[in-house]
Amino acid sequence: MDAVFLKAKHDAGLTWDDYLASATEPQRAAWLKVYEQVHLSEAQREMLGSSVRQMNVIVLSGAWCGDCVRQGPMFQKIAEASRGKIKLVWCDRDEHMDLQERVVINAGQRVPVVLFAAEDFELVGWFGDKPLSRYRAQAAKLYGAGCPLPGVTGVQSELAAELQDWVDEFERAQLILRLSGRLRKKHND
């Protein structure tokens, strides 16, 4: 994906409030309920707040999507903790099929998908539709406790594990930007 395309999508994206305003009342209530349950640790807030580079982030999502309802509030909390370094916008999958077609996963149109871009909209990477901890929890439920899956977490800690997985993805993207020779040269650091 080129920077011009990503900038256009970012410019067309919605803020958190506008995205939720476009949802139905039951959908909005579900998103806000999860938002209230998501709590970053002090260490997570400190790490996110210490970001150096601006990062443009696009979340391809659907207000109707259960995984989006669960993970979307995490993205918002992460962006809020970045002290303005993460410029997060939301694009509805059905309204941005040209973007969806570029980020298929296992030949499927999955959401959420998070696209990370540099300050000049050069693509850093994209990730979706669920982090590893969520897949582990789903596999444990599907195959039972006897399923030999390393790292499977209990129901009580699933949300926290998922949040940490996403914090790690945002940190990874920030480190790519921070250590980029191109950007280090540009910023003289």
What is the predicted pLDDT for the residue at 156?
42
Whether residue 128 contacts residue 100, with contact meaning beta carbons closer than 8 Å, is answered with no
Distance (Å, whole) CA 22 – CA 28: 9
What is the predicted pLDDT for the residue at 142?
85
Q: What is the pTM of this model?
A: 0.92
Establish whether the linkage from the previous residue to 150 is cis, with ω within 30° of 0.
no
Phi, psi of 92, deg, nearest 5: -70, 130
Whether residue 71 contacts residue 31, with contact meaning beta carbons closer than 8 Å, is answered with no
What is the predicted pLDDT for the residue at 153?
40
Establish whether the linkage from the previous residue to 92 is cis, with ω within 30° of 0.
no
Paired with 110 in beta bridges are: none
Q: Strand order of the sheet with strand 55-61?
A: 86-92, 55-61, 113-117, 123-128
Write the DSSP symbol of residue 111. Answer: S
What is the predicted pLDDT for the residue at 152?
40
Average pLDDT of adjacent 10-residue blocks, the chain of 189 residues: 97 98 96 95 98 97 95 98 98 98 95 98 96 87 61 61 96 98 96
What is the predicted pLDDT for the residue at 120?
98
Chain-centre distance for alpha carbon 24: 22
Q: Are strands 113-117 and 123-128 parallel, antiparallel or unpaired?
A: antiparallel
CATH code of the domain covering residue 59: 3.40.30.10
What is the predicted pLDDT for the residue at 157?
81
Distance (Å, whole) CA 101 – CA 2: 14
- In total, how many domains does the chain have? 1
**Structural domain range at position 56:** 3-187
Write the DSSP symbol of residue 52. Answer: -
Chain-centre distance for alpha carbon 141: 24
